[in-house]
Structure 1
Amino acid sequence: MNTTWNKTNLVLVMLDANDNKIRYTYNNMIEKPSDDQITKFAAVIEKLTGTSFFNAYVTTTDNKTQVA
């Protein structure tokens, strides 16, 4: 099978001042974000929102086609 990258989604779970979880979802990210890129992106979101980083989820969608 041939695999073709379609899209990557990133979900950042942040904590507010009361330790409530807030999810920020970003669609159509780069194909393979590194841990360092995710950490730096989360740091920017922390500064913009006043929340703190809890964890992240990366989901990649690929198209698979049968090879003749």
Structure 2
Amino acid sequence: MNTIWNKTNLVLIMIDENDKKIRYTYNNLIEKPSDDQITKFAAVIEKLTGMSFFTAYVTTTDNKTQAA
């Protein structure tokens, strides 16, 4: 089977000043974001929102096609 990358999504879970978890979802990212890229992006979101980074989830959608 051939695999063709379709899209990558990132979910950042942040903690607000009341210890409530807030979810931010970003769609259509680059194919394979590195841990360093995700960490730096989360740091920017921390500065913009005043919240603390808790965790991140990366999901990738691929299309599988039968090899001819």
TM-score (norm 1): 0.99
- % identical equivalent positions: 87
2:36 corresponds to 1:32: no
SS of residue matched to 1:30 = coil
Match of 1:66 in 2: 66
Q: Aligned Cα RMSD in Å?
A: 0.3
Shift of 1:58: 0.1
Shift of 1:43: 0.1
Q: Deviations over 1:29-65 (max 9, x none)?
A: 0000000000000000000000000000000000000
Task: Name structure 2 gaps, 5 residues minimum.
Answer: none
Match of 1:45 in 2: 45
2:18 corresponds to 1:18: yes
Write the letter of the residue equivalent to 2:5.
W
Shift of 1:4: 0.4
**4+ aligned runs moved over 6 Å, structure 1:** none
Q: Measure the CA separation in 1 of the matches of 2:24 and 2:31.
A: 19
